[in-house]
Amino acid sequence: MSRLAGLLLAAGFLTSAPVHTALLVGGGAAVISGVVGVFTVIRGQAFAGHALADVSSAGGSLAFLLGVNPILGFLGMAGAAAAGMEAVGVRRLRGRDLATGVVLGAGLALAALFLYLDSTTTSTTGAAITVMFGSMFAIPAATGRLAAVVGGAALAGVALMYRPLLLASVDADLAAAQGVRVGGAGLMYALVLALSVALSAVTVGAILSTALLIGPAATALRLSRRPGQAMLVAAAIGLAATWLGILLAYDSYVWTPGHGWPVSFFIVTLIMAAHLLASRGRA
Amino acid sequence: MSGLAVERLSVALGGRPILREVSFEVAPGQFVGLIGSNGAGKTTLLRTILGFQAPAAGSVRRGSVGYVPQKILLDPDLPVRARDLVALGLDGSRLGLPLPSASRRRRVEEMLAAVDALAFADERIGRLSGGQQQRVLIAHALIRRPTLLLLDEPLANLDLHSAAGVVTLLGRLCREQGIAILISAHDMNPLLGVMDRIVYLADGRAAVGTVDEVVRGDVLSELYGHHVDVIRVHGRILVVVAPAAELAEPEQHATLLPPAPR
Ligand SMILES: Nc1ncnc2c1ncn2[C@@H]1O[C@H](COP(=O)(O)OP(=O)(O)OP(=O)(O)O)[C@@H](O)[C@H]1O
Ligand SMILES: [Mg+2]
């Protein structure tokens, strides 16, 4: 029994500073992704959300190249892409999809260039892996403080825009008839999405941030029929998966030969498992 | 102003003229039917009144507005209950999180009762039937007590009994609260008992007046530009638009026919 506890909480888990940072930043990213993700799913913008994350990797890799905080790189690129997509395709769904595709292509081309330069001109050999798949246990304390600001801004944005955004996400015409500026609400949402994506990009990585955004939200929609409640459920699922994932990854140093398995793998697997469980439970 | 004044309104979509010099008014407490067959421009007119569509010429003056769209696509998994959507009708444009409020809850409850929607108030709106959704949308549009209510084909999804129920409800709201109502339909018959006036759209133009003034062979023939028969049977009205001689395909515009399923 105590051996099991020892295995679950491998030596030093509760006292390690990188683990603390990982729990705080990763947990915060999960909560915000869950809340924002419910809007993403309701609005049918999973593709835009994923594209934003992919594009933000160009900013992340540029940040490595320039030696600035990666969160700023992710955020700058995601913000620009979000504003671009909203500006091009506000009106028509189809237009939005095409706009997303075009922006995505351009963004990934930049990411390819910057990652190539990262790997050839600097000593940061792990940049590509870090940008794409995150490095939860190597988050600098400075990034943690920045993440708190970014996360706070995202939550404030959601709280401020909650009702107009919800109504516009249900039906744009209903919202417009109530005097909601639907375009403005969409832009606000896109910026909040950019904040959320930047945050999860530094934790689980740009590519896997979609899993954190869409998975818990999609599961929550099956479990709750109320909007606010769905957001809380999504946040809780994301948080649980992230913390448990961090624990399992930390423990995996013990039971794998070598360096353990990546945190992102565990988190995304847990999110997937939760979704399957919820689907089975309801079917 | 309260109510609605539409003056010499012309609208073009994609370069094609849809409405030409349409003028009419809806006074507070008046119930006006906007009648026309598929593609006559009813939705276009309502969207222009709402300000969603810019007119090519003419003007619209109106008071605060409630709107029930013709169709809204709702995902069955949408985590929004009927009562949530009605509450969003009350304060959906406000910033910040909604604080729990007993008076807000009571108003939502009263509105749900008024449209007879209490039985499914806690269901997800995407899983309600077309007619149930229609009631919830009417409650959503009315809860802020607008001076003008625009409804786009609200009866299209309803069986005869529900349609009669909704019409009676709208008639009562119109008289008791002095709301100006403009309601579109391709079949005028369910509205005959409550309509004060009719705006009949055909070929981009409108004939305006009471039902007796407008729904006549000579007036509608003039509007359509060719011969139209108006037949009254058992208190119902049937408008038969004869196909123009040069048209190869005969057109069927009998408004007594049930609406085509969409
Ligand atoms: N975006 C658009 N661009 C060009 N033409 C359009 C557009 N939207 C609608 N139309 C045309 O405008 C005309 C009027 O359409 P509208 O939807 O207003 O008709 P309606 O009276 O509401 O018909 P229904 O009874 O089928 O709802 C139709 O001929 C339609 O083809
Ligand atoms: Mg229409």
CATH number of the domain residue B7 falls in: 3.40.50.300
Is B55 in the same domain as B3?
Answer: yes
Is B49 in the same domain as B166?
Answer: yes
B198 Cβ neighbours under 8 A, 6+ residues apart: B32, B33, B35, B188, B208, B209, B210, B211, B214, B215
Q: Tell which of B121, B141, B161 closes a domain.
A: B141
**Contact yes or no for A75/A221 (Cβ under 8 A):** no
What is the four-CA torsion angle of A189, A194, A196, A201, rounded to 10 degrees?
A: 160
- Give CA–CA dist A114/A67, Å, rounded: 12
Instruction: Detail the DSSP E strand segments found in A143-192.
Output: none
Is B150 in the same domain as B53?
Answer: yes
Q: Tell which of B111, B141, B171 closes a domain.
A: B141
Q: Tell which of B115, B141, B167 closes a domain.
A: B141
Is B150 in the same domain as B209?
Answer: yes
The first and second tokens of residue B30, run together, are: 């008046």
Cα-to-centroid distance, A36 and ligand 2 (Å): 34
Q: Is the CB of B186 under 6 A from ligand 1?
A: yes
Which amino acid does the sequence have at B73? L
- B247 within some domain: no
Our CA-based measurement puts residue B43 at a distance from the nearest CA of chain A, in whole angstroms, of 12
pLDDT of residue A6: 59
Question: Could you read off the pLDDT tens digit of each residue along chain A, which spans 283 residues?
Answer: 455 555 556 667 777 888 888 899 999 999 999 999 999 999 988 888 888 888 888 888 888 888 888 889 899 998 988 888 777 765 555 566 777 788 888 888 888 888 888 777 766 567 777 777 777 787 887 888 888 999 999 999 999 999 999 999 999 999 999 999 998 998 899 899 999 998 988 888 887 888 999 999 999 999 999 999 999 999 999 999 999 999 998 888 777 777 778 888 899 999 999 999 988 865 4
Planar angle of CA A228, A87, A148, nearest 5 degrees: 45
Residue A147 or residue B257, greater confidence: A147
Q: Burial of B177 by CB count in 10 Å (0-12 exposed, 13-18 middle, 19+ buried)?
A: middle
Q: How many domains does chain A have?
A: 1
- A8 within some domain: no
**Contact yes or no for A89/A96 (Cβ under 8 A):** yes
**Contact yes or no for A234/A219 (Cβ under 8 A):** yes
pTM of the model: 0.87
- B132 within some domain: yes
Instruction: List, as own/partner pairs, every contact residues A126-130 make where C-beta atoms lie below 8 angstroms and the sequence separation is at least 24, other chains included.
Output: A127/A61, A127/A64, A128/A61, A130/A64, A130/A70, A130/A205
- B125 within some domain: yes
The arithmetic mean of pLDDT across residues B157-165, rounded, is: 83
- Residue whose Cα lies nearest atom 18 of ligand 1: it is B41
- B43 within some domain: yes
Which residues in A have their CB inside 8 Å of a CB on B?
38, 42, 44, 159-164, 166-167, 170-171, 173-180, 220-222, 224-227, 229-230
Q: Which domain holds residue A60?
A: 20-276
Cα-to-centroid distance, B80 and ligand 2 (Å): 26
3-class secondary-structure state, position B218: helix
- Give CA–CA dist B159/B174, Å, rounded: 22
- Its sign, for the CA torsion A183, A185, A186, A191, is positive
- Give CA–CA dist A239/A242, Å, rounded: 5
- A11 within some domain: no
The first and second tokens of residue A98, run together, are: 């095409």
Is B131 in the same domain as B97?
Answer: yes
The arithmetic mean of pLDDT across residues B59-88, rounded, is: 93
B16 Cβ neighbours under 8 A, 6+ residues apart: none
**Contact yes or no for A251/A74 (Cβ under 8 A):** no
From A17-26, B72-81, B112-121, B247-256, the region with the lowest mean pLDDT: B247-256
**Contact yes or no for B94/B121 (Cβ under 8 A):** no
Q: What is the DSSP letter of B120?
A: G
Is B50 in the same domain as B105?
Answer: no
Q: Provide, as residue numbers in chain A, all residues whose Cβ is less than 8 Å from the Cβ of B89.
A: 178
Is B11 in the same domain as B129?
Answer: no
- Give CA–CA dist A134/B126, Å, rounded: 38
- A119 within some domain: yes
Q: How many domains does chain B have?
A: 2
Is B34 in the same domain as B157?
Answer: yes
Our CA-based measurement puts residue A232 at a distance from the nearest CA of chain B, in whole angstroms, of 12
- B248 within some domain: no
- B79 within some domain: yes
Cα-to-centroid distance, B152 and ligand 2 (Å): 7
pLDDT of residue A114: 86
Our CA-based measurement puts residue A148 at a distance from the nearest CA of chain B, in whole angstroms, of 21
CATH number of the domain residue A110 falls in: 1.10.3470.10
- B242 within some domain: no
- B178 within some domain: yes
pLDDT of residue B12: 96
Residue of B nearest to A167 (CA): B92
Cα-to-centroid distance, B46 and ligand 2 (Å): 9
The arithmetic mean of pLDDT across residues B208-221, rounded, is: 92
Q: What is the DSSP letter of B147?
A: S
Which residues in B have their CB inside 8 Å of a CB on A?
50, 52, 65-67, 69, 72-75, 77-81, 84-85, 88-89, 91-98, 122-125, 137, 140-141, 144
Among candidate residues A53, A63, A70, A97, the one with its CA nearest the CA of residue A193: A53
Q: Is the CB of B41 under 6 A from ligand 1?
A: yes
Q: Hey, how many other C-beta atoms are within 10 angstroms of the C-beta on B29?
A: 17
Instruction: Detail the DSSP E strand segments found in A228-276.
Output: none
Q: Which domain holds residue B3?
A: 1-64+146-217
